[in-house]
Structure 1
Amino acid sequence: MPRWNEDQSHRVCLIPIPRLSDLGQKTRDAGIYIAGALFALGWWFFIDAVIYSSTYEGDKPVSVEFVDWVPGICSSLGMFIINLIDKASLRGDSFAFSGDSTSIVWKARVILFIGFAFMAGGLAGSISVLCVKYVIPDHGDPFTFWGICNVVQNAAIMISAAILWVAQNTESEYSFSI
């Protein structure tokens, strides 16, 4: 049965998440690997800025401190929360222990919202740190780079979460419908 013929009365978003099942298992695996590479690349940019900050030998009006770490930690936590949710529980297809499947759907959607809030807060926090700590005081070239690395880290984590979400929504050859 095609997706557009499904019952739309129980959907929150009428635009369905794309499925890559037509392209096969290799596409799903590639999506997972690309998401992992983006996640690692984001943290690589930030760790590079941290190391450069600690080894910078010039006059240092600012340095990478704990406030710079908080947005990346929030985005990573949001990504983990989002991708730990069972996708079937968002649609209401899962088994409910209490007999009321709407309570599980509601709880899953609240947790999903919290995960997205962590990721959005991480990206907004990194942009705020860039502006308030590095751009507005106009410290110069190597210092602005540290703030840009923080924004790149959080953007890469958000894109990674989106790719992983789509890749995990595809059917695996190892999944069974009982």
Structure 2
Amino acid sequence: MGCCPEGLIDWDGVYQTIQPHATFAAGVLFGVAWWVWADALLYSIAVGGASFSPLTLVPGLVATAAVVLMNFVSREEVMADYLDEAATMRAKLVLMVSYLVSLGAIGAAVGLLVHDHTQGGKDLWVGASGVLQSCLVVASGLLCWFFHSASDSPGMGYGYI
């Protein structure tokens, strides 16, 4: 039993309220994530005189790839009874790999931040923004994955695309 009495919150109603706007919110989160990273990098180059390191780009690209991989699988494929067992297991495997890749991207961003800190870098904002970027990209992917539904629309639940 959870912390709330049963029937206190209508989760189906909450889901139905959020679902039409979730894809748009996920896109906004994704755009904010890349904007924060680009802003921090450009500020560091223009004001701080730092040089661009392509290594700082890697966690964001890996997180973006994980989000794309995550959204190849719908919730219906993971929980479906109409598919055979092998297809359901393949969908679960792809979803698990995407989660591991996204956690690896966040770990890489944290690793780059720690590396910048141990090297005595004055401006740690690029590293911190990389961590924030990776977390926001993964959050946008989870939001999009959780609320899209293949059965609601012919566009696989992506109403804003």
Give, in angstroms, the shift of residue 53 of structure 1: 3.4
Give, in angstroms, the shift of residue 139 of structure 1: 1.9
For residues 60 and 48 of structure 2, what CA distance do their matches in structure 1 show? 26
Give, in angstroms, the shift of residue 26 of structure 1: 4.9
- Which digits, 9 at most, give the CA deviation of each residue in 1:2-59, with x for residues without a partner? xxxxxxxxxxxxxxxxx9642475521222221111111000011112322332464x
Could you say which residue in structure 2 is the equivalent of 1:81?
Answer: 69
Could you say which residue in structure 1 is the equivalent of 2:85?
Answer: 102
Contact 1:92 1:102 in 2 (8 A): no
Could you say which residue in structure 2 is the equivalent of 1:44?
Answer: 35
After superposition, the CA RMSD in angstroms is: 2.4
| 2:46 is the alignment partner of 1:55 | yes
Could you say which residue in structure 2 is the equivalent of 1:123?
Answer: 106
Contact 2:36 2:129 in 1 (8 A): yes
Distance 1:130 1:88, change over 3 A: same
Structure 1: stretches of 5+ with no match in the other structure: 1-18, 96-100
Could you say which residue in structure 2 is the equivalent of 1:135?
Answer: 117
For residues 151 and 157 of structure 1, what CA distance do their matches in structure 2 show? 10
The one of 127, 144, 151 equivalent to 1:164 is 144
Distance 1:24 1:171, change over 3 A: farther
- Which digits, 9 at most, give the CA deviation of each residue in 1:111-143, with x for residues without a partner? 1111111110110000000101x2112222xx2
- Which digits, 9 at most, give the CA deviation of each residue in 1:51-76, with x for residues without a partner? 22332464x4xx34121111111111
Q: Which amino acid aligns with 1:168?
A: H
Query: 1:104 is paired with a residue of what secondary structure?
Result: helix
| 2:79 is the alignment partner of 1:91 | yes
Query: 1:47 is paired with a residue of what secondary structure?
Result: helix
TM-score, structure 1 normalization: 0.71
Q: Which amino acid aligns with 2:137?
A: I
For residues 171 and 89 of structure 1, what CA distance do their matches in structure 2 show? 11
- The structure that has the greater radius of gyration is 1
Structure 2: stretches of 5+ with no match in the other structure: 1-9, 155-161
Contact 2:76 2:150 in 1 (8 A): no
For residues 65 and 118 of structure 1, what CA distance do their matches in structure 2 show? 22
How many residues align structurally?
Answer: 145
Percentage of pairs with the same residue? 19
Q: Which amino acid aligns with 2:35?
A: W
Contact 1:20 1:28 in 2 (8 A): no
Query: 1:112 is paired with a residue of what secondary structure?
Result: helix
